[in-house]
Amino acid sequence: MVPISYYLVLSAILFGLGVVAFIFKRNIITIFMSIELMLNAVNLTFVAFSRALGKLDGQVFVFFVIVVAAAEAAVGLAIILLIARNQQSLNIERVNLLKL
């Protein structure tokens, strides 16, 4: 059997990749995808722990996460669509009316 640490390391790497992509990518859709990657890393962690602990609730949590991620995606894509329509661009550097 594969030890749990493998799963944890893999999910930590996925989560880290998501964070790095979130910070360095310039396309809004890619940034959005990196958030999904982070959420799926969390799912993997939940499932791995659920298996290791011999409890089912971790797998139930994954369903909650999936549902919430779907709701978030619906709202997020709508917002991105508004940006694309009003700015004709999906580059985050060009969405800069509000000075940071």
Q: How far apart are CA 49 and CA 8, in angstroms?
A: 9
Range 74-93, binding another protein (CB under 8 A)? 75-76, 78-80, 82-83, 86-87
Contacts with another protein by CB under 8 A: the residue count is 41
**Which of 11, 18, 13 has its CA nearest to residue 52?**
11
**Which one, 6 or 71, has the nearer CB to another protein?**
71
Smallest gap from Cβ 56 to another protein, in A, equals 12
Beta-bridge mates of residue 27: 91
Q: How far apart are CA 90 and CA 83, in angstroms?
A: 7
First to last CA, the chain: 50
Q: Does 22 bind another protein (CB under 8 A)?
A: yes
Q: What is the DSSP letter of 91?
A: B
Residues near another protein, by CB under 8 A: 8, 15, 18, 22, 28, 31-32, 35, 38-39, 41-42, 45-46, 48-49, 52-53, 55, 57-58, 61, 64-65, 68, 71-72, 75-76, 78-80, 82-83, 86-87, 95-98, 100
